[in-house]
Amino acid sequence: MATRPAGSHVSAWRPAVAGVAEVFHAHFVDHAYPRHIHDVWTLLIVDDGAVRYDLDRHRHGALRTSVTLLPPHVPHDGRAATADGFRKRVLYLDTSALDAELIGRAVDQPGIVDPQLRDRIHLLHRALAAPGDEFEAEGRLALILDRLHAQLRRHTPVSVAPAARGLAVRLRELLDARTIEGVTLREAAALLHAHPTHLVRTFTTVHGVPPHSYLTGRRVEVARRLLLAGQRPAEVAVAAGFFDQAHLTRHFRRYLGVSPARYLGAPSGIRPAGRR
């Protein structure tokens, strides 16, 4: 059975703060994230080391001196840029937290050099780790979102959608609606009145990942939320659309570097939502 490298550690919990879908702290040495897509905003700061990642086919880096904001529905990966790995703290923010029109700006410039913003995010993480400080956390989150809006609106680009975007979006909506039960390529092609090969090619061109990778990533997202809500891995596997627990574990470890059973964890005193 695969094990995490020595020194690696993951903590994840869902706080009782509106707008924050999940808090995720991790230390990875040699784990590499495969290309995947989130349906939430990813707000990341690095505490040690550095991260290399590709976002929408463009290479970037995350350093201790910057804040990284990854938009929803845009493919990205991630890996350590140093031999000793990296430590990061992540906030997954609901899509309602930031306007969808800012996605293009975040794609063009996911790295933000803003010491005050980084300090605000650090203080928010500290508040989220302290039971009873939810009101403080809500206030700090509001200041962070206000500053992110100001940063992203400075030079928001005008993007032109490709001709095939409509078909790709319809397939994505179908996969989102059928995440658990799934859909065959032939069935999807018939529903969308497109040739299967053209459907796969178009989706991959627009979204940066093939349909099967997108669906697997969506199921992993469902699984991590069910785990945070207190369900057992065996129950989560079926509920998230995986064949069995072994199927879930294989893909979960590939995406997140740990098994579902070892995913949950939080700083002392924090109890994940659903387990109160």
Angstrom distance (rounded) from CA 151 to CA 90: 19
140 lies in some domain:
yes
Q: Answer yes or no: do 121 and 65 share one domain.
A: yes
Q: Answer yes or no: do 139 and 209 share one domain.
A: no
State pLDDT tens for residues 13-33: 999 898 999 999 999 988 899
3-state secondary structure of 46: strand
Per the structure, the count of domains in the chain is 2
Q: Answer yes or no: do 131 and 14 share one domain.
A: yes
Q: Answer yes or no: do 116 and 172 share one domain.
A: no
Angstrom distance (rounded) from CA 177 to CA 181: 9
257 lies in some domain:
yes
Q: Answer yes or no: do 23 and 123 share one domain.
A: yes
pTM of the model: 0.72
> What CATH number is attached to the domain comprising 108?
2.60.120.10
Angstrom distance (rounded) from CA 17 to CA 91: 11
Distance of CA 82 to the CA centre of its chain: 22
Q: Answer yes or no: do 21 and 99 share one domain.
A: yes
State pLDDT tens for residues 142-196: 889 989 998 988 755 544 345 678 999 999 999 999 999 998 888 999 999 988 8
pLDDT at residue 275 is higher than 70: no
Q: Answer yes or no: do 55 and 175 share one domain.
A: no
> What CATH number is attached to the domain comprising 201?
1.10.10.60
Q: Answer yes or no: do 214 and 137 share one domain.
A: no
Q: Answer yes or no: do 148 and 172 share one domain.
A: no
Domain extent at residue 203: 165-262
205 lies in some domain:
yes
Dihedrals phi, psi of 130, to nearest 5 degrees = -115, 105
Q: Among 93, 117, 152, identify where a domain stops.
A: 152
Angstrom distance (rounded) from CA 257 to CA 13: 16
